[in-house]
Amino acid sequence: MRDTEIMTADATQWLCRDRMLDLGRVHVMGILNVTPDSFSDGGLHFDPQTAVARARTMAAEGATIIDIGGESTRPDAESVSADAELRRVLPVIVQLRNDDLILSIDTSKASVARAAIEAGAHIVNDVTALGGDPQMAATVAESGAGVVLMHMQGTPRTMQVNPTYGDVVTDITAFFENRRARAWQAGIADAQIVFDPGIGFGKTAEHNLILLRRLGEFQKLGRPILVGPSRKSFIGKVLGLNVEDRLEGTAAAVAAAVLAGASIVRVHDVRAMCRVARLSEAIRRSVPVHQEGRCAAADFSATGS
């Protein structure tokens, strides 16, 4: 693909293998942690059948994307082997691949991403933005999968040790530009890319608040923005609440993100956040939105096999 073609990718379209996801409407990505140690729901969906049931519940509540992860990325999290990660996620993907859903694999390992794509995943959500595994960029390019390039300062084990920026928005924008260039060099089309500023990943509470307030500045990159504020620690610090009491704070963050132009919000509490996103989008558009059921209809179409 020539640079001129890459630069003119439609920012309201996301190419995810054989699907083209219409991001003219805000979509909700439901979080499905198939782990024993994630920060707010570790162990709840560790059993594959429980995980599948939870995915289908989130779909019924309005999620059009399910983000399946087999390794925790909370602060101080220990890494797991690719084999362990695959044992957790593959049975879930296989059981969901015929559902009317877009499936995302939350991993930084190319071997896990490749196997998940072969099993039916459409998106790779990489918290290292192609920086953690030298084979990841080629894996995404060869498969045509959608890719979320997330910003993280440091690693999950070190990211909250005195995170420092000159200007957090400027610095993250430069990071995105660098990783986008890396993606292009590997043969990843711009239409495959979504950016995530990484709320809670190597940021203080103040950094996270600034990112939400200034999120619209990332629109100059010309690609959709995903935001994942769900139950994050900055909400607890601002409101003085434990993780199980952060629903309203998450709602405020989701509303701020949508009003600032976010195309996708990644959340645990799908039903409530879908409603928040729908109303926030109506305010953003300043026209009534009449739609029953899903927060954003499954506005994707086949682009060929």
- 63, 268 contact by CB (below 8 A): no
Say if strands 19-22 and 300-302 run parallel, antiparallel, or are unpaired: antiparallel
Provide mean pLDDT across the span 257-277: 98
Provide mean pLDDT across the span 48-55: 93
Would you say residue 46 has pLDDT above 80? no
pLDDT at 164: 87
Supply 246's token pair: 């952060």
Nearby residues of 110 by Cβ (< 8 Å), 6 or more positions away: 133, 134, 135, 136, 138, 139
More confident residue, 7 or 178: 178
Strands ordered across the beta sheet of 102-106: 193-196, 146-150, 123-126, 102-106, 65-69, 27-33, 264-267, 226-227
E strand or H helix at 141: helix 136-143
Give, as one character, the DSSP assignment of residue 97.
T
Supply the pTM of this predicted model: 0.89
More confident residue, 46 or 169: 169
How many Å apart are CA 269 and CA 209, to the nearest integer? 21
Supply 16's token pair: 């995810």
List the domains of the chain with CATH numbers.
3-285 (3.20.20.20)
What is the DSSP annotation of 45-68? T-SHHHHHHHHHHHHHHT-SEEEE
- Model confidence at 6, in pLDDT bands (50, 70, 90)? very low
pLDDT at 295: 61
Would you say residue 7 has pLDDT above 90? no
pLDDT digits (tens, 9 = 90+) for 186-221: 999 999 999 999 999 999 999 999 999 999 999 999
What positions carry a catalytic annotation?
232, 266
